[in-house]
Structure 1
Amino acid sequence: MKKILFIALVIASGLLYQGALQAQVRLNVNFNVGSQPVWGPVGYDYAQYYYFPDIDAYYDVASQQYVYLNGGSWMFAPTLPPRYNFDVYRGYKVVINQPNPWMQDNVYRNKYARYKGQEWYGSQPIIRDSRDSKYFIVKGHPMYGKGNEQMHARGHEDHGERGHGHDHGHN
């Protein structure tokens, strides 16, 4: 009887531990606000990639690298080449949470073609300009490192901000 009780206890402990690990993985996978750049659009707790329709290029949030075509090959670099002359603060950004979206570039190019060449500055709020305290963990934000208590004291809560042009993996 003690053996059966011990085995049951070991199995139950393993199941609880596995459930806790899965919950932690889900939390880590679904929240990366602190890793997003200050020029990223607000309204996303998780962003794997940004797509820039204006220049048909991507930004990998995890590796902090741009992905762009160069002579028919996809290049990965921490900065865009000067030939792009692209302002990431003003340009339209689409959040894409699919692995290696550049491998399906024609899908994203066609899907978001209507955003190419438009003036989006101000119509797509960015993290740097947000007063939502959840963005204070983003390095480069004017309130970086400030606690929530300062925002509440000043009355600058803004719960109405929403991002635009997101892709949750539905094509």
Structure 2
Amino acid sequence: MKTFPKLLVIITLFLLFITPQDLFSQGPPPWAPAHGYRAKTKHIYFPDQNFYFDLEKRVYLYLNNGSWSISASIPSVFGTINLNTARKVELEIGGHTPYQYNEQHKITYKKSKKVKKEKKGKGPKH
């Protein structure tokens, strides 16, 4: 019976070493906010594209033919977006339906409009 505890220890150690590390680190994606914000932030809103990412469930919420859909991977219509550089808004909305406030979000976080600044010249030389 002495071999049973040894075998159990060996199996336990074996399982610890072969278990993928990401199994234990199910944190947000790399483009998500820094650690200090994660406790309060529940969703990320991408105002220029008008879709959400649920940090707890790790799913994308987006409009699809007039109704909200859920996807575990970024929807193909947003596939070319660089999520690291895209404009993001951190939301502290409870629950898993931030889109219920989408009309308000679209107004509050309107698409940014880049204003071209005209260079002040000295005018033509005579």
Pairwise TM-score range, normalised by the shorter structure: 0.5 to 0.7
The alignment partner of 2:81 has SS state of coil
Q: Note the alpha carbon deviations across 1:63-106, whole angstroms, 9 max, x for none.
A: 10000000111001011222222211110111111132101101
Distance in 2 of aligned mates of 1:94 and 1:56: 11
User: Which residue of structure 1 aligns with residue 93 of structure 2?
Assistant: 98
Distance in 2 of aligned mates of 1:78 and 1:98: 20
Aligned equivalent of 2:49, options 51, 55, 68: 55
Distance in 2 of aligned mates of 1:116 and 1:36: 29
Deviation at 1:40, TM superposition (A): 1.1
> When the two structures are superposed, what TM-score results if normalisation uses the length of structure 1?
0.45
> When the two structures are superposed, what TM-score results if normalisation uses the length of structure 2?
0.59
Aligned equivalent of 1:44, options 37, 61, 75: 37
- What amino acid maps onto 1:75 in structure 2? S
Aligned equivalent of 2:106, options 97, 105, 109: 109
Distance in 1 of aligned mates of 2:31 and 2:113: 18
For the structure 1 residues 57 and 116, does the alpha-carbon distance in structure 2 shift closer, same or farther, using more than 3 Å as the test? farther
- Percent of pairs identical after alignment? 29
Distance in 2 of aligned mates of 1:106 and 1:93: 17
Matches within 5 A, 1:14-25: none
Q: Mark the structure with the bigger radius of gyration.
A: 2
Number of aligned pairs? 84
For the structure 1 residues 116 and 95, does the alpha-carbon distance in structure 2 shift closer, same or farther, using more than 3 Å as the test? farther
The runs of 5 or more residues in structure 2 that have no matched partner are 1-25, 115-126
Distance in 2 of aligned mates of 1:114 and 1:56: 9
Distance in 2 of aligned mates of 1:108 and 1:116: 16
1:80 pairs with 2:77: no
The alignment partner of 1:35 has SS state of coil
Q: Note the alpha carbon deviations across 1:22-58, whole angstroms, 9 max, x for none.
A: xxxxxxxxxxxx7322111335142210000111000
